[in-house]
Amino acid sequence: MDLSDSAAEAAFRAEVRAFLDEHADKYPNRGRGGFEDGEFPGSEAMQPWRDALVEKGWIAPHWPKEYGGAGLSAQEQFVLNEEFAEAGVNNVGGFGVMMIGPTLMVHGSEEQKQEHLTKILHGERNWAQGWSEPGAGSDLASLQTRAIRDGDEYVVNGQKIWTSGAHRADWIYMLARTDPDAPKHRGISLLMFDLKTPGVSIRPLINMADGHAFNEVFFEDVRVPVRNRLGEENRGWYVGMTLTDFERSGIGNAVGVQRILRGLLKQARTLPEEQTRAARKKDGTWRLAFADRWIEADIARLFSYLNMTIQLRSLIPNHEASMSKLYTTELNQRIASTTLKLFGLYGQLWDKDRPEALRGMAARGYLGAVSSTIAGGTSEIQRNIIATRGLGLPRG
């Protein structure tokens, strides 16, 4: 197996690195991971970085040039994502660029493309995803939010939960049941609408790491124009699955894991002996655990190479993307646990002003890692996909 760059890939990698040398410092708190208030993808703080990306066409590198993207090949996208992850930045496109935009290109009308795509690129329209409900998470097709046709509008009633970024978004795309008598995977439509539409209310959900990323969203007689439906009526499940295929594969997460490990090793080498005595026992427990994590991070990267190879064949990774998602998110939890053990009792500190244990990031990271195997499809769902679609096993 030869994982080295071709001449063309090496030239493009040099171009990306030159761009990062010039512009990466425009990214707020570069390399820290996550966003704080005022720094989310559509925020004013991110605008200089976004403007540089838009000018280069790299805010949406996978989009065709006719829609304002860069039209990069699969190899070029892979190199770009790899270098961005190494530099601790991302293209801040959010759900709009990564998911609903490409889905609009496949299933949207020309009017819908004209309405949304340019605004997505320039950060003028940020999106939330209305998927899960209190009684429909992993079994999403059991969703009960209703959209009843009334002339040229749908009247939407129901609730969504775990809605990432809804408190900062302008619009939402969501699945709603338009035919309650149809089998559960049918009778669903995908709707798009402004979150300021009368009848929409958003309630924050604060996670156990004291972060506000999720929300629950309520819909009470919300009127959505029929022209805002994406794809055919009652065929929204299949439109939604097109969108989900854009969510579960990529090099960024795998490279990000390796960056975390490099930072953790650097930190471990500078800590005083008394702070990490428990982790530095003579049996080398922590060092062995760190070596395991490093090997696992290399494996995660190989999963990403597999997905890229499939894309080079003009195919879409399916169970392979689930393999990558499952492996990487469970690895994130193991890394969080290893980090906490390194700092011992100091790892429980929560105060951002205390220098020990990464100013509280060890504790917050440990709690925050719990959700990684739930968001985007639980580990159990990923295993089902791998078993049935990848191994051909019968459904239980």
Q: What torsion do the CA atoms of 349, 353, 354, 355 make, to the nearest 10 degrees?
A: 120
How long is the chain?
A: 396
Q: CA 254, CA 269: separation in Å to the nearest integer? A: 23
Largest CA distance in the chain: 74
CB atoms within 10 A of CB 307: 22
Let me know if 153 is a catalytic residue. no
Residue 315 gets which letter from DSSP?
Answer: -
Give the residue among 44, 214, 228 at the shortest CA–CA distance from 123: 44
Q: Which residues pair with 210 in a beta bridge?
A: none
Rounded to 5 degrees, what are φ and ψ at 363? -70, -45
Helix (H, G, I), strand (E, B) or coil at 300: helix
Question: Which of 90, 169, 180 is CA-nearest to residue 130?
Answer: 169
- Please answer whether residues 168 and 211 qualify as being in contact, where contact means their C-beta atoms are separated by less than 8 angstroms: no
**Closest by alpha carbon to 156, among 133, 129, 177, 130?**
177
Structure tokens at 285: 């427990």
Tokens encoding 172: 């939402």
Amino acid at 340: L
Catalytic position from the list 15, 153, 233, 247: 247
Q: According to the 3-state scheme, what is the secondary structure of 182-196?
A: CCCCCCEEEEEEECC
User: At a CB cut-off of 8 Å and minimum separation 6, what does 368 contact?
Assistant: 207, 209, 211, 336
Catalytic residues: 247
